[in-house]
Amino acid sequence: MSSENQDHPQQHIQYFWEDLPVGKRIEMGSITVDHDEVVAFASKYDPQPFHLNDAAAAKSMFGRLSASGWHTCAMAMGLMVRNFLNESSSLGSPGLEAVKWLKPVYPGDTLTLFQEIQDSRPMNSRPDVGLTRTLWEMFNQHGEQVLLMDGWGMFRRRERGEGRSDTAG
């Protein structure tokens, strides 16, 4: 019986729960931080002076304009969605066990995200779903880690006979 997952048309799914074993590490791509977007994000969601303008930032503990930590998380999510989740059977996330803002993020920085599967188990209440615990690590162009996140994701499991899309006949 063919499945009909309306969130994730079957032909686009590269990653079911079974394709995410413990230890698997995937690069999620890179993004360069844009100065005006740093200010725009902060204006709406984190209007602390040192995220809003260069003059205030120069006098702050950061020394120059830095991105909101929430903007850093949002940029990581953008990479995660575009390079992984939209090609997966993801059913969302109940939350995170940790977020660590390890270094400031500055306009012009190029950030690269990796995810690594830390834990994986079937979901007892839903036999068609599995849980994964994933470490997210983002690094700047100097190789310094700027962000760590540790969170849970829910993924639909492959049905019997349901192969990878690239090998299905």
Contact positions toward a copy of itself, by CB under 8 A?
6-7, 41, 44-50, 59-61, 68-70, 73-75, 77-78, 81-82, 85-86, 90-101, 148, 151
Can you spell out the DSSP letters for 87-138?
Answer: GBTB----EEEEEEE-S---TT-EEEEEEEEEEEEEETTEEEEEEEEEEEEE
Q: How far is CA 108 from CA 11, 59, 66, in A?
A: 37, 20, 10
Strand partners, 149: 99, 136
Nearer to a copy of itself, 21 or 92 (CB): 92
d(Cα 143, Cα 59) in Å, to the nearest integer? Answer: 26
Nearer to a copy of itself, 91 or 117 (CB): 91
User: CB of 46: closest distance to a copy of itself in angstroms?
Assistant: 5
Nearer to a copy of itself, 36 or 161 (CB): 36
Nearer to a copy of itself, 14 or 21 (CB): 14
User: CB of 101: closest distance to a copy of itself in angstroms?
Assistant: 6
